[in-house]
Structure 1
Amino acid sequence: MRSLLQLSGLLGILTFTTAEYSAPRNANHIFNAIHASMRQWGSSLHHNGMSFFLASVPEGTQFFHGTSESTPIIGTEWLAFEPEHAMVFAGRRGPPHRVPPPKNDDYDDDNDSPSHHEELRRREPHHAESGERCISPEVEDAAEEDAGYLHTYAAAKDLRLLYIDGMSAGKTAKGTLDSQDVLLFNGSLEDAPTKPGPGSGSEGERARLACELAQDAWEGRIDGVLRMEAGFEIILCAFERDLIPVRITQVKSRSGEGDEGRHNPKHDDHSGPRADDDDKKRKGPGHGGPPGSVNWMRAITHRYQGIGGSRVSLNYDNFVTAFAYDVDLFPSKSTLPRLTGLSQSELDSIRQDVTGLVMSHEATEPSWNWQTTVDMLVTRYSNELSYYVSGKITSLEDLHAEIERLLAPFIDYGDRNTELEVDRCTMHSMPLRANLSTLAARAVLSVARTTCGALFGVWEETQDLKVAVEKTQALVDYLAWTTWKECRGCADNEICVVPIWPLGSVEDYKHPQCKNASNPYDGEGESYWRGLHR
């Protein structure tokens, strides 16, 4: 009897009209946020994250930290998912400014040595607002220092994190920091201007404020914050509480003659390394890449399509995104979403919902992985839509034939009904056992219905090739899928280059290309992070 009732319920879902589900505001942007989540590629292109997800990292997951210290870290610091990311910070320096942890019985202030928190200081922006160099002088100087240490840790428990999407660890003037500086921290960074602005504040202060939120407003329900720059990283509030040291190894000195990433005065301008005889022996990236960044960039491109290894899981049924609120995130028709123009009451409403999310839900609670559903839709339609607008189809009849081939599974040729056909097309990839009333579900339904409706419209109604292609292009522009900027056919010694703070040019953003992995950011063109495309 129970199985019959379950089947009856599924049949009811199959016959409903998809228009009954209300489309959320900015459904296409919510869809893309789900698609890009925990992916280096999509998060680099949709770099102004507007969403907050609960994330879980399973016990035993390994992480990495680069420092001058040969003893385990105590207190608040950064963790990298990739060892090459951490190794960039593994140079010797004097005692940095420490970041005091929030007051908590789990912390031992007597053991919180001022010699710790070195990586915090090295992550400070350098001329972030002008876009020049955009890396810490300490990181540059580390190339002239002796070797430091690579720490390997394992999670002592399942870590509970707040994932801030986009390139939220990028210290840029484009809005990558809005979700933290403007919304979470409400402009409270000590060195922030009167009006919260992009690129203001320090990384140490962000870490302190994030851990204060975790401990006080969120009552210890969050262990840290998950972000992305050139690689994914965690601001973890209590290393000694949440991690088990696995090993500490000394890295190769960068001061030796011929070492990769060795400091070269010729690399100090914005044009990158020169192709002269001396520089042929050195493999430094352009636009002022930090030492070791060649290996670093190679490593993070492996995470273009996901962090891998089941290292992070997100709760997609319950998350908060500014895209869903009745606020103007695109002032003056900006192409990049911003939070700087929102009123205090609008910011308060979103901030309170983030707190409600943290206090009421867990990353590990039952949730449908809507990213897998989004992936099915993108892979089904991405190449076809790209082909339809490519100019390679020269007649309306051929375009109609291509579209009909794609839509044929949803057509009953013995009883035509376009409305039912659009519904079948919309529901094709939807999980029938999932909760279809959640924000994620409604966004996915909306995008699927828009895509199917537009394609049926072009196939059935358009009688002019130019108009048909223009309508299809309008759909492509609305969807704005990052798959359409992916490189095709990179050689084994090449990587697909897109701007990833602090590196990359405007041209890299417009037209990502395969480039030699030994010098992917060749320094040509205007830096993307100078404030263009705002």
Structure 2
Amino acid sequence: MLRTSRNMLMGTIYGLSTFTAVAASALGEGRSQLSFQPPPNLSSSSSPSSHDLNVNTTANYIFNSLAGALAQLPNTIHPNGHLLLPVTIPTHTTVYHARNDNGSVPSPDWVAMDVEMSYGIMTGRSGGTWLSTFVTAREIKLVYFDGNSAALGTPGWLDTQDVVAPPEEDETPGHPGGGWNGEHDRAVRLCEWNEREKLRLDGFLRMNSGFEVMWCDFDSGALELVSHLNITPPDVPLSSGGSSWDHGGGGDHHFASPSSPRGSSEFDDALPPPPEGSYPGRRPGEGGGGPPGRGGASIFSSSSRFEWLRVSTHRYHIPQPHIVPDWSSFVTFYHPRLSSLVEARKGVSRMGDHQVKRDASEEDVSSVRDEIVEVLRRSSGSRGSGVDWSQLSKDVVERYGDRLANLDHILNGSSSSSSNFGASSSSLSSTNFTLLRTKLSVLTYTMLNPFLDTTHLSNTSSSSTPSSLWLPSTLDRCSTYLTRTVSRSTLTDQERILKASIDFVTGRICSEIGGMFEESLLGSKKGREEESLVKEWRGRVKELMSWLDWPIWTRCEVACSWNEVCAIPMWPLTSRGGPRGDPDPKTPPVVPYCLALDGEEGRF
């Protein structure tokens, strides 16, 4: 009975995985025909194993991209981005641009969403630091590339940008991503693609140790200059030999009219043009002897790196403020119709090992490029259901994230608890098994109880009620409770893949916890060895958590002091195994720890 009921549910949720085949076949019919129909019920002999689910679906990857979009930690842990998402910045949002000269801003160039990032990139070098503070004069249209999409040095980080607007074959060879100079070329290519396709974008949103906008045209009138200040730290000499306090070229360049846009005669008359061919802002540490804050002996400039790190960790789980995503236009290289990438991912479960540029066929790249153009061109009246899909995915993480970690803790005893539930199977006593089973039963019941109709569930201590009377309907409600009432007729093609992914992920979670709850009630009565049952539970929870790969489980185990932040290596601020935080693909994911904001090196 136990195995039969689990198979019934697995057959139900496995229907969602058939969207791989359905989506692939729908490609020839056009994306508007995309649908995800459940298959006939699977018999127990054909029910898929967890291994089959891991190999045959991208639902967990799409779910992670959705839940982690626009947040620092998820996109640092999963740096190889696959998402292209239209976003907007509201009117009157402040952005920042720092330079090492007193010139006007060329196009294209960059603005930071946080002043600490802009200042941290520029300060601490020979020469001064000038900061332009802007506000948006209207709604700003961007495309967001997820992952570590503004970080250089590792294949995979910049892939989505470089396949949307590919470089020339001879462009900046020999360095992944094209190096520092390749950044300007990349901006030019993307902005030219925007113009060519008539997409009316203002730029492109990316992330490294913070969020920045690759801005296409500073003369468009979309930005209003609030101030232009010489913010060189007082103990840093300027290259001319003067101090920052007596440099005639600095100062606050307020306009006669505060609403005058960048590009007005007042601004251009006040600021000399930048040196020809100079594109400052993309080379942390240039002229200063290293990464931000390490150049020279200034105690003020050296603090910039730590303050940048501080604000970056503010965004670890909370999305970058002032960014409004359009979830109905979620375009992803994890879409199951992209057969070349499906093939390349077989046996490669870790998101950090997936590379679009290396693995995608030209046909699949063209398909995604066409899709993002299509969603950017469609009218505002075709924006789908209005469902906040990202919040639904976060609801799943909030409900199950810490409880699954708690379940793993119960089964593996990773604490100094007097009841050593995590003891090896050879030392598992009957008393410990009873306590463990009770804790597991209560916790799995807690996760199921909003969906469990106890009408047919008799006294649990007797375990006499056939699970077929309550388990399948419970798990069906558990798997689809977030999306059950969403009308398919209101969904865009992109929303359908989001709905299917959320349902699939919740379906697998519910299946596993439902099976363990049932087994905790029936385990000893099924004639199964206690140690064998515990070993199976451990393996299933471990595999489930590995498959989900949620960033919520990456955290410092103790609270950090007020002069510390809980951090992991982030390019270009903190490093592991390399000068810019380049991860070593042969090493396991890093464990975060408390990093002092007044430390010497900031290395992990």
TM-score (norm 1): 0.74
Matched, 1:466 2:448: no
2:598 counterpart letter in structure 1: S
Which residue of 120, 125, 129 corresponds with 1:143?
Answer: 125
Residues 131-168 of structure 1 show CA distances to partners (whole Å, capped at 9, x for unaligned) of: xxxxxxxxxxx5222x2211111112111111111111
Residues 458-508 of structure 1 show CA distances to partners (whole Å, capped at 9, x for unaligned) of: 222474111111111111011000000022422211111112112322689
Residues 236-256 of structure 1 show CA distances to partners (whole Å, capped at 9, x for unaligned) of: 111121211111111133753
Match of 1:413 in 2: 454
Q: Which runs of structure 2 are paired with 1:374-393 in the superposition (5 Å)?
A: 374-390=393-409, 391-392=412-413
Q: Identity across aligned pairs (percent)?
A: 22
Which residue of 119, 132, 136 corresponds with 1:155?
Answer: 136
Q: Is the 8 A contact 1:34 1:371 kept in 2?
A: yes
Q: Is the 8 A contact 2:70 2:320 kept in 1?
A: no
Match of 2:440 in 1: 399
Residues 74-117 of structure 1 show CA distances to partners (whole Å, capped at 9, x for unaligned) of: 532101000111113446xxxxxxxxxxxxxxxxxxxxxxxxxx
Q: Which runs of structure 2 are paired with 1:353-368 in the superposition (5 Å)?
A: 353-360=371-378, 365=383, 367-368=386-387
2-side partners of 1:251 and 1:349: how far apart? 47
Please report the RMSD computed on the Cα atoms of aligned residues, expressed in angstroms. Answer: 3.5
Change (3 A) 1:376 1:515: same
Q: Which runs of structure 2 are paired with 1:485-496 in the superposition (5 Å)?
A: 485-488=554-557, 489-496=559-566
Match of 2:265 in 1: none
Change (3 A) 1:268 1:79: closer
2-side partners of 1:451 and 1:368: how far apart? 22
Change (3 A) 1:240 1:186: closer
Q: CA deviation at 1:284?
A: 8.7
Structure 1 counterpart SS, 2:516: helix
2:105 counterpart letter in structure 1: I
Q: Is the 8 A contact 1:73 1:240 kept in 2?
A: no
Matched, 1:68 2:100: yes
Q: CA deviation at 1:308?
A: 4.8
Structure 2 counterpart SS, 1:470: helix
Residues 256-280 of structure 1 show CA distances to partners (whole Å, capped at 9, x for unaligned) of: 39x9xxx9999869xx99xxxx99x
Q: Is the 8 A contact 1:283 1:294 kept in 2?
A: no
2-side partners of 1:374 and 1:480: how far apart? 14
1:317 counterpart letter in structure 2: S
1:47 counterpart letter in structure 2: P
2-side partners of 1:431 and 1:249: how far apart? 54
2-side partners of 1:66 and 1:234: how far apart? 13
Structure 2 counterpart SS, 1:244: strand
2-side partners of 1:361 and 1:83: how far apart? 34
2-side partners of 1:407 and 1:426: how far apart? 10
Q: Which runs of structure 2 are paired with 1:267-286 in the superposition (5 Å)?
A: none
Matched, 1:518 2:598: yes
Structure 2 counterpart SS, 1:161: strand
Q: Is the 8 A contact 1:55 1:162 kept in 2?
A: yes
Matched, 1:48 2:80: yes
2:439 counterpart letter in structure 1: D
2-side partners of 1:177 and 1:363: how far apart? 32
Greater alpha carbon shift after TM alignment, 464-473 vs 433-442: 433-442
Structure 2 counterpart SS, 1:414: helix
Gaps of 5+ in 2: 1-11, 21-56, 238-243, 245-284, 414-419, 422-435, 457-468, 524-532, 577-582
2-side partners of 1:450 and 1:55: how far apart? 31
Matched, 1:316 2:327: yes
Match of 1:180 in 2: 161
TM-score (norm 2): 0.66
Q: Is the 8 A contact 1:314 1:363 kept in 2?
A: no
Q: Is the 8 A contact 2:145 2:206 kept in 1?
A: yes
Q: Is the 8 A contact 2:125 2:288 kept in 1?
A: no
2-side partners of 1:206 and 1:308: how far apart? 23
Task: Tell me how many residue pairs correspond in the alignment.
Answer: 439
Match of 2:477 in 1: 424
Q: CA deviation at 1:408?
A: 1.8
Q: Is the 8 A contact 1:283 1:519 kept in 2?
A: no
Structure 2 counterpart SS, 1:240: coil
1-side partners of 2:600 and 2:498: how far apart? 36
Structure 2 counterpart SS, 1:235: strand
- By percentage of residues, which structure has more helix? 2
Which residue of 352, 355, 364 corresponds with 1:338?
Answer: 355
Q: Which runs of structure 2 are paired with 1:439-454 in the superposition (5 Å)?
A: 439-454=497-512
Of structures 1 and 2, the larger Rg is shown by 2
Residues 352-389 of structure 1 show CA distances to partners (whole Å, capped at 9, x for unaligned) of: 22222222366994532211111111011111111111
1:511 counterpart letter in structure 2: V
Q: Which runs of structure 2 are paired with 1:70-149 in the superposition (5 Å)?
A: 70=102, 72-90=104-122, 143-145=125-127, 147-149=128-130
Q: CA deviation at 1:331?
A: 6.7
Q: Is the 8 A contact 2:404 2:541 kept in 1?
A: yes
Q: Is the 8 A contact 2:126 2:288 kept in 1?
A: no
Q: Is the 8 A contact 2:348 2:354 kept in 1?
A: no
Q: Is the 8 A contact 1:331 1:341 kept in 2?
A: no
Match of 1:221 in 2: 200
- Between the two structures, name the one with larger relative contact order (CA 8 Å, sep ≥ 6): 1
Gaps of 5+ in 1: 1-16, 92-141, 286-290, 525-534
